[in-house]
Chain A
Amino acid sequence: MSVSDPGLYDYSPIVDRPRLTWPAGARVALWIAPNIEFYELLPPVNPVRPPWPRGQPDVLGYALRDYGNRVGIWRLFEVLDRHRLRGSVSLNVALCEHHPEIIEACRARGWEFFSHGVYNTRYLYGMDEAQERAVIDDAVATVLRHTGQRIAGWLSPALSHTERTTELLAERGFKYACDFFHDDQPFPLNVTRGRLISLPYALETNDGTVYGRRLASPREYEDILRAQFDQLYAEGEESGRVMCIPLHPFLSGQPHRLGALDRALAHIVGHPYVWRATGSEIADWYYAEHYDAMVAHLAARRGASSVA
């Protein structure tokens, strides 16, 4: 049975909240989320959504994405290294087995991994609870085995969900979920057991959305990243903001797009009050400094509205 309102989080206007602070007086917590993905050539076909809309094998679609792993990601390493930025990798975890060289290159840089499902061609749609839990547990075990990291974050593969995904993530001790686009600050999610926050990932600054859906040029993408940062940085003086730059090596790692990213990052990190963070670092800070106050704030709001 479907619902009209998923009840994922409480309503809370951003202008009426406890002040959010970041370490060292930063105004913006900046995190970079390269999506390191593996799309299968001949995946099983999900009845709700075909993995390859043009039919399979889709040589062009497959090869473009594989380019990201053979070529693009290595350019992104260089650009991010130059700006002293670590990635928080949105990882299709099967890539640990397919391309250990990439995993090792991330690990050596101190990058964080979080789960983006097994393959980007495997969706959560239609899974039962046991199947979905198995996917989550497999992600934790696979990344731990290959990297020694216990993953704390989740972005559903191809942004496919079920109504119980957040509950299962909280149950399995995840710290943050990236699937929600309702805010520029971390925000408590309503789960029945444990706790979980949404960490602002992004569609608006995501090269996949901007190039792939909005059909923007590289220079327009550069303008978007600069303007996004300038606005959040100005607002961050009053209360902290999160800026995420989700990247896809098969898009931003193309030679003609690399400069746009490089120039935008130079602009951003040229500002003093920027916290170069990873997903877990932001989540840990939020839990330590702000989560309880926000939950109390929301409880008071709920109480006030039920009285009214």
Chain B
Amino acid sequence: MDHDRYGWSALFHRPPVRWPGSARVALLVVPVLQWFPLDAPAAPYQPVGSLDAPYPDYRAYTHRDYGSRVGIFRVMAVLDRLGLRATAAVNAAIATRYPGLLDEIGGRRWEIAAYGLHMGRLHHADLSRAEEAALLDEVLGTLRHASGQLVRGWLSPGGTESPHTLDLLAERGVSYVLDWVNDELPYVLRTETGRLHALPYAHDLSDATVIWERHHSATEFAEAVIDHFTVIDREAAEAGGRMLVLLLHPWIIGQPHRIAALERALGEIRSRPGVWPATASEVLDAWAAAAETGS
């Protein structure tokens, strides 16, 4: 590799992983709760969903905010009906601005992963180590205090990291990061400071990629989710446990005209045999236990 963060191996050349109950596919649903500030800086870049009209861009600001007022509750209703507990990736600013949302998440026994401060505060090469350490203390402190959870997971706003992000996260007791989307199973990341894992999400399958960026319809999104599942489920029968990590943006999939497509897709997957609905920590712990025993 051109770096030493992980040892490289092809997915299909590893010993099989056994999930609890001999499940074939672990299903992880990851709603992201985002806040896009009205005055987010244009540099170093603007993540997907950023405001794109001249200041004050009330159009995009309020459209994204819809996710936290309305859309997330449709997503919750769907997951409740299907008996799925999610792992919510939460901007710390959400905990401060909308504390009731954290209660809704806690009441459902969803897991919380940290998702930076907000969508205007990115982790990138120009952030000094000291500055980033303080930022991570603030983000993790806020979310741990608000949720009462350990908060073992991390997702970087916009999907970028600084050269120090992984070390700083491990130092602060974080066990997994979702950012490295190069695999379909967890793997070990090397850090200076502690144990850390990559828990890749299916970036090409998220509602933001399929619907927002590629402009596919909600129906096409549902088809993509089912098709993705069908392939990895077939492979799992031969190669051992697999996982589907589906990122959802409530301001996209929680719109009235899209939510039924999500319920169709997840309902179809839920009806298949050998599916293990799990949170990120449950999957990570099962994977680590399997890796230790070599099964």
- Residues of A with Cβ closer than 8 Å to B? 2-6, 8, 11-16, 48-49, 125, 159-163, 179-184, 203-205, 214-216, 220, 223-228, 230-232, 235, 305, 308
Contact = CB atoms under 8 A, between A and B. Distances in A.
Given A3-B38, A205-B257, A227-B257, A161 B58 contact: yes
28 contacts: A2-B39, A2-B56, A4-B38, A5-B37, A5-B38, A6-B56, A13-B98, A13-B104, A14-B73, A125-B54, A159-B53, A161-B58, A179-B58, A179-B59, A179-B62, A181-B66, A182-B70, A183-B66, A183-B70, A184-B70, A204-B257, A205-B257, A223-B218, A224-B257, A231-B74, A231-B257, A235-B256, A305-B99
Contacts of B12: none
Interface in B105-144: 120
Given A15-B73, A181-B66, A182-B66, A6 B99 contact: no
Interface of B is mostly: helix
Given A8-B62, A180-B62, A223-B219, A2 B258 contact: no
A14 to B, nearest CB: 5
Interface of B: 37-40, 53-56, 58-59, 61-63, 65-66, 68-70, 73-74, 97-101, 104, 120, 215, 217-219, 255-261
A162 B38 CA distance: 12
A181 B256 contact: no
Nearest to A305: B99
B256 A227 contact: yes
B217 A8 contact: no
A14 B69 contact: yes
B54 A13 contact: no
Contacts of A214: 215
Contacts of B258: 227
B69 A12 contact: yes
Given A179-B59, A181-B63, A204 B255 contact: yes
Pairs A-B, 4 closest by C-beta atoms: A4-B37, A231-B256, A228-B257, A2-B39
Contact of B259 (A5, A231, A305): A231
A182 B256 contact: no
